[in-house]
């Protein structure tokens, strides 16, 4: 999963590909897939937008899944979801924590729907780790 990264030497020029560690790619893909499944299954969304990449100079990789569905019920709590047997959002939060990433699940910039936004330092996705050999 090569997101656009900052171009060499500054903000000018076209984005350059970045090689993402396999372990990070797997977790990010699983989070995105769960967010899309939730948009279909629970939010009854008609449109889902997925974006991934890095803004030049930010040093942050961002993955966003935004839908136009019903949105989360007010006061949604992970503990309540877990108690009721709904583990998808909890799984996304746990996967983000394993990556050392920040995850935000809630109303996005659009008037309706939900956004799942994953952010982590670019250095964390490109540096190899022992778990990547699998």
Instruction: Say if CB 24 and CB 124 are below 8 A apart.
Output: yes
Domain positions in the chain: 4-127
Distance in angstroms (rounded) separating the CA atoms of residues 3 and 45: 25
Chain segment 23-41, per-residue pLDDT in tens: 999 999 999 999 999 999 9
Q: What is the pTM of this model?
A: 0.78
Q: How many CB atoms lie within 10 A of CB 102?
A: 14
**% of the chain at pLDDT higher than 90:** 46
pLDDT score at 133:
55
Phi, psi dihedrals of residue 10, rounded to the nearest 5°? 130, -165
Second CATH level (architecture) for the domain 4-127: 2-Layer Sandwich (3.30)
Q: What percent of the chain has pLDDT over 70?
A: 82
């Amino acid at each position: 999963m090569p997101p656009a990264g900052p171009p060499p030497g500054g903000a000018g020029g076209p984005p350059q590909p970045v090689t993402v560690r396999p372990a990070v790619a797997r977790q990010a893909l699983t989070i995105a897939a769960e967010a899309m499944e939730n948009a279909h299954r629970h939010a009854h969304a008609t449109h889902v937008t997925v974006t991934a990449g890095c803004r030049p100079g930010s040093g942050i990789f961002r993955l966003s899944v935004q839908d136009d569905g019903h949105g989360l019920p007010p006061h949604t709590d992970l503990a309540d979801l877990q108690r009721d047997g709904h583990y998808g959002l909890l799984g996304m939060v746990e996967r983000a924590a394993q990556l050392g990433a920040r995850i935000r699940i809630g109303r996005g910039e659009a008037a309706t729907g939900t956004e799942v936004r994953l952010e982590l330092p670019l250095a964390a996705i490109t540096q190899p780790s022992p778990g990547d050999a699998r």
